[in-house]
Amino acid sequence: MNDLIVALAGGVGGAKLVLGLARAAPPEKVAAVVNTADDLTLYGLHVSPDIDTVMYTLAGLADPVLGWGVVSDTTHALDMLERYGRPAWFRLGDRDLGTHLLRRALLDQDKSLTEVTGILCRALGVQSAVLPMTDAPVRTRVLTPEGELEFQDYFVARRAETPITGIRFEGIEDAGPTEAVRSALARARAVIFCPSNPFVSLRPILELPGMADAIRSSPGPKVAVSPIVGGRALKGPAAKMMKELGEKPSSSGVAQRYVDLLDGFVLDEVDRDEATRVEQMGLRVRVTNTVMNTLEEKIRLGREVLEFSDEIFQASRT
C-alpha cells in the first residue's frame, strides 16, 4: 500500500517540517530521508548532525533555541578538552556525547548507520523512521578562495562567512540510497522536499547515484517547500550561498533546481508574485505561510502540504 509520507530533509529547517508532518499524520506513516554529507569524525566519534537534529526534534529533546543538540545540555566534557588545549569549537554537549558514545559502540559492532539510527530512535520513542540517505561515507567539501574546507569547518568554525566558489560531495560516486530509503520511496503516498538548504542539504541527497530515478518512480506526488522567503533563507546561509554561486536568491530559483523531479511547489505569501513563474515551469503552486516558529505553525504547514499533495494526486486521476 502506498501510505508513507517520505520527507527529504537536512537539519534544523527540515526537522521542523518533519515534525509538522509527523503530527499532521500518524507518525509511523512518516519517513525522513536525511542528509549525511555534513557528518564528521570528532575525537573518534561519528557525528551525524542532521540525523541527530531530526531525531532529537521528533523525540522532543532538541534545544528549542538552537534547533540542534539536546535541550538544557551542559559542556563539561568540552571544557575538559579545552583544558587539554584541544579544539572545542564544535559544541557537542554532554548528553549529546552519550548518543555519540553509543553510536560509536554500535558502529564498531559492524552495524550500519541505518541500523544504529533505528536503535537510537526506538530507544527515544521516535515513531517515524529516520533514514540516513546512505550508509556510505559522503562528505561535503566547500571550495573557497582559501582552498577546500570541510563542511563543519566552513559552517561552524568559520560561521559560513568565507565566500564560496563551489561545493563537491566527496565519495558520492561510490555511494547510493540504502534499501530502507528505496523501499520507503517505493511505497510513498507523497515525497516532500523540506525547506532545507538546496546546496548542502538536499543536493547531496538528490545527487546520490540512483536517487533521482528512485524519486521519479515513486508513486505519489512530489512537492517541495521553498526555503527562501522574501529573498532570505528561512534558516542558515542558503541565500548567501545562492548569491555567491551567481544566482538571485528566490523561491522560483529553488523551484528551477528541482523542477525535473517535482509536481508541486509551496511558496510563502511574501513571494506570491513568483507563483506564475513557477506555474510556467509546469508545476502546481500553493501559496501559504511557510514560516514555522511554533509547533502549531509546523503542524498547520504539514497539514497543508499533505492536502496539497492529495489534491495533486486526485487531479492526476481525473
Binding site for ligand FO1 (CB under 6 A): 10-12, 38, 49-50, 52-53, 68-69, 90-92, 96, 152, 155-156, 201
Neighbouring residues of 175: CB distance < 8 A, sequence distance ≥ 6: 134, 136, 137, 138, 208, 209
What is the end-to-end Cα distance of the chain in Å, rounded?
21
| For the chain, counts of helices (H) and of strands (E) | 13, 14
Cell numbers given for 296: 502549531
- The nearest distance, CB 157 to ligand FO1, in angstroms, is 9
Query: What is the C-alpha R_g of the chain?
Result: 19
- The nearest distance, CB 278 to ligand FO1, in angstroms, is 25
- The nearest distance, CB 209 to ligand FO1, in angstroms, is 22
Q: Which CB, 89 or 108, lies closer to ligand FO1?
A: 89
Q: Which residue has the cell 557537542?
A: 92
Identify whether the C-beta of residue 254 lies closer than 8 Å to the C-beta of residue 246. no
Report the residue closest to ligand FO1, judged by CB. Answer: 11
- The nearest distance, CB 220 to ligand FO1, in angstroms, is 26
Q: Which CB, 155 or 199, lies closer to ligand FO1?
A: 155
- The nearest distance, CB 312 to ligand FO1, in angstroms, is 28
Q: Which residue has the cell 506564475?
A: 276
What is the DSSP code (8-state) at residue 173? G
Q: Which CB, 97 or 267, lies closer to ligand FO1?
A: 97
Q: Which helix (H) or strand (E) holds 53?
A: helix 49-59
Q: Which CB, 17 or 92, lies closer to ligand FO1?
A: 92
For 177, other C-beta atoms within 10 Å of its C-beta total 25
Q: Which CB, 52 or 274, lies closer to ligand FO1?
A: 52
Q: Which CB, 201 or 226, lies closer to ligand FO1?
A: 201
Q: Which CB, 196 or 309, lies closer to ligand FO1?
A: 196
- The nearest distance, CB 91 to ligand FO1, in angstroms, is 3
Q: Which long-range contacts (CB under 8 A, 24 or more apart) does 271-274 make?
A: 271/226, 271/228, 271/229, 271/230, 274/250
Helix, strand, coil percentages for the chain (3-state, nearest 5) = 45, 20, 35
- The nearest distance, CB 99 to ligand FO1, in angstroms, is 9
Alpha helices for 187-290 (secondary structure H)? 203-206, 211-217, 238-244, 251-258, 275-279
